[in-house]
Amino acid sequence: MNALTLPDVAAQVSRETLPLDWVGMCGIATPVLIDGQRLGATADAGVSLDDGTARGIHMSRLYVALEKLEDAPLAPSLMREILQQFLDSHEGLSRAASLSIHTDVLLKRPALVSPLAGWKSYPVSIEAHLENAMFHVELRIQIPYSSTCPCSAALARQLIQQQFVDDFANKRLEHAEVLAWLGSSNGIVATPHSQRSTATLTLCLNTDCNDMPLLAVIDNAEAALGTAVQTAVKRADEQAFALANGQNLMFCEDAARRLNAALSPLPSIVAGQVQVVHAESLHAHNAVAHSRWPREAP
């Protein structure tokens, strides 16, 4: 076979001299190691093309650098190493590099009361950027939970009181009769509405972290909300869930404040933003609140 020289189009001079902000590949399949689990993920890898005369970047050099994801736990330090390799392999062409990883973290969560447990999937994205030795990493995670409207609960309580007045007007109160009434459908004549809700947390991580603080973030967030959606559920678990909802009535504003208070003290997080969306059953639209920290001085 003839030893032909392969044409290298990327090395050609571009006819139109124009630097590009980002060039790379999106949706590269890769495994990642998180908390000892090997997960399937996709990666978006790219660099800036600051040399406007160069025709193209060297995609294969970015692809090869992603091999590091196979064996080392995913951490800010690992992402920095990979980004540095992107830049080293594009010396003279690129000044900025970025890498995003998208995956679903699977966690086994215990039931509230029964000995059952089940798997829950949390969509996670980690975005890292390196430019002029400035490195930052952002973790985005979605957490589903239940929220019961405090206003609706108060309105339902008022109707229950009214029903009590109607049913027991001019009657001597008998303990057994009241108890039976409380257990009847008349005793709970109205119920508050509740909704499946989602918190999207965007967290700027401490770049010295040698692991991803996923479990700490999820555990803190779910404890602060008190009404995480459940996996395996027996009746005892459902009853405990009803109690948890009753004890944690939440407007979207309440949920955003709770999450801010729970996550902002974590040492692995230097700044953050919370977006909560309550998919209302009262309306066909959603109730939404945002909160971020640290807050700029007014």
Site residues (vs ligand GTP, CB under 6 A): 8, 10, 56-61
Would you put residue 226 in left (φ > 0), alpha (ψ -120 to 50) or beta? left
Minimum CB separation of residue 92 from ligand GTP in Å reads: 13
Least distance from C-beta 10 to ligand GTP, angstroms? 4
Nearer to ligand GTP, 99 or 205 (CB): 99
Q: What's CA 104's distance to the chain center, in Å?
A: 10
**In the block, residue with structure tokens 């949390």:** 122
**Residue 147: CB minimum distance to ligand GTP, A:** 45
Closer Cβ to ligand GTP, 56 or 187, answer by number: 56
Strand duo 194-205 + 269-278: pairing:
antiparallel
Q: Which is nearer to ligand GTP, 62 or 201 (CB)?
A: 62
Which residues have C-beta within 8 Å of that of residue 265, sequence separation ≥ 6?
Answer: none
Of 10 and 179, the one with the shorter C-beta distance to ligand GTP is: 10
Nearest residue to ligand GTP on Cβ basis: 56
Q: Please name the helix (run of DSSP H) or strand (run of DSSP E) that holds residue 97, with its range, or none.
A: strand 96-110
Secondary structure (3-state) at 271: strand
Q: What is the DSSP string of 178-200?
A: HHHHHTSGGGG-----EEEEEEE
Q: Considering the complex, what minimum distance in angstroms separates the CB of residue 94 from ligand GTP?
A: 12
Q: How far is the CB of 54 from ligand GTP (least distance, A)?
A: 9
Q: Would you say 37 or 60 has its CB closer to ligand GTP? A: 60
